[in-house]
Amino acid sequence: MSWYRNAVWFVKGLREYTRGGYESASKHFNPADVEVDVAGRSFLVTGANSGIGKATAKEIARRGGTVHLVCRNKERAEVAKEEIVTETGNQNIFLHIVDISNPKEIWKFAEKFQNEHKLNVLINNAGCMVNNRELTEDGLEKNFATNTLGTYIMTTALLPLLEKEADSRVITVSSGGMLVQKLNISDLQSGSGPFDGTMVYAQNKRQQVVLTEQWAKAHRNIHFSVMHPGWADTPAVRSSMPDFYERMKNSLRTDAQGADTVLWLAVSAEATKLASGLFFQDRQAVPAHLPLAWTHSSPADEEKLMEVLEEFSQKFKSVSLG
């Protein structure tokens, strides 16, 4: 059935995920949803120095929010911060240098952040698509370390802070590519068989959807959501998917169009009227599985994913915090 899922996903993508799909969907948006003042609320955006992360951070800053930029590259992050401050006039922009593929760094950051700041909204945007199997210094496959384990640790480490605030939210930027993947807990670090970076990335994004659903069940007073930004013209797409970019570059969404639903989920009152744990595209909750596709996972597999990630998380927490 994989050929069917891939074909349906690509046709769906050509129709909905491109710039034309956004322009069509946006005709039904209510501009007032995001015309809000969020002064006094604190937002953390990972992967915020470029692409969808920077576009999201900039729009939140325009609305008066306090924005924490979590980035890996210090030089690029400082340029992004300066751009956001200059364009928005918002001085409440803070920079934190953290490698999301390094679980020990995340734990150290989260412990320090909890002691110094409050947090209303966490936006898990950082991600990577490495096309050859690479291991981090901790021996973790890099895509898994960044997209899945990094997202898991950042979120769970900051849950106590989010629990303290009213109207707290967690938004994770996933991908429609996850529609072609069924959760596979037997090879989380892609160590067996041929390595296909695109499919590994898609599997990680399916894992993010499962994480969101599980968190929503466990933490009722936080609103969790996961979303697909569409096919956007970002530095990550250009570097990780050069062939796809060349073929589709004239049809790709802008960074701001890709970020629109992230912003809507982060600031609008309408978003939290919908159930926690849903998958979104263009400000609408959409199915997390294609029609007739065998991508649903068992409760046992979903619980196993959470158990394995928690084991990893606690191992690196004990190392990083002594």
Q: Which of 138, 132, 121 is nearest to 267 (CA)?
A: 121
Distance CA 192, CA 116 (A): 43
8-state DSSP, 252: P
Q: Is the Cβ–Cβ distance between 42 and 65 less than 8 Å?
A: yes
Q: Give dist(CA 237, CA 247) in Å, integer.
A: 12
Torsion sign across C-alpha atoms 19, 23, 28, 29: positive
Q: Where are the alpha helices (DSSP H) in the chain?
A: 2-12, 19-26, 51-62, 74-88, 103-116, 142-143, 151-163, 197-218, 235-240, 242-248, 255-267, 299-320
Residue position matching structure tokens 């004239």: 250
Q: How is the beta sheet containing 284-285 ordered, strand by strand?
A: 93-97, 66-71, 42-46, 121-124, 168-173, 222-227, 278-281, 284-285
Which residues contact residue 242 at a Cβ distance below 8 angstroms, ignoring those fewer than 6 apart? none
CA gap 109, 158 in Å, rounded: 10
C-alpha torsion angle, residues 308, 313, 318, 321 (rounded to 10): 180
- Active-site residue 22, yes or no? no
Tell me which amino acid residue 151 is: T
Q: Which of 22, 152, 201, 245 is catalytic?
A: 201
Give me the active site residues, please.
201
